Amino acid sequence: MRRGLAKRPGASRRAANFIRDREARNPVTIAAEEHFLTLSDVATRLKVNEDTVRRLFINEPGVVIICFPRKGKRVYRTLRIPEHVFQRVLTRLTRVSA
């Protein structure tokens, strides 16, 4: 455990519930033939750390989050980023100098 951060009881459960509720409110249709990128694929393309990619895409609509919450243990999430979502975020984050 990192210094200064106290473990909150039920924090992983709240995170899993937040993601499940977000997906229920904002359903997104994804084509079966769509190409998905992993966190490491995106990190390699952008030349940034995987944690940075995770923070950028965790709340982005259209990202597939595979989550297996376990009672009393931390939640492991696998993210798959559709190519069109990657392009949308890249366009939004790119500054055009005038």
Does 2 reside within a domain? no
Q: Domain residues for 45? A: 11-26+34-93
Q: Is residue 39 part of a domain?
A: yes
Q: For the chain, how many structural domains are there in total?
A: 1
DSSP at 62:
T
Residue 6 lies in a domain: no
Q: Could you give the CA distance from residue 49 to residue 81 in angstroms, rounded to a whole number? A: 16
Per-residue pLDDT tens, the chain, 98 aa: give them: 445 444 555 555 555 565 556 555 556 666 667 899 999 999 999 999 999 999 999 999 999 999 887 888 888 889 999 999 999 999 998 877 66
- Assigned domain for 71 exists: yes
CB-CB contact of 63 with 83 (8 Å): no
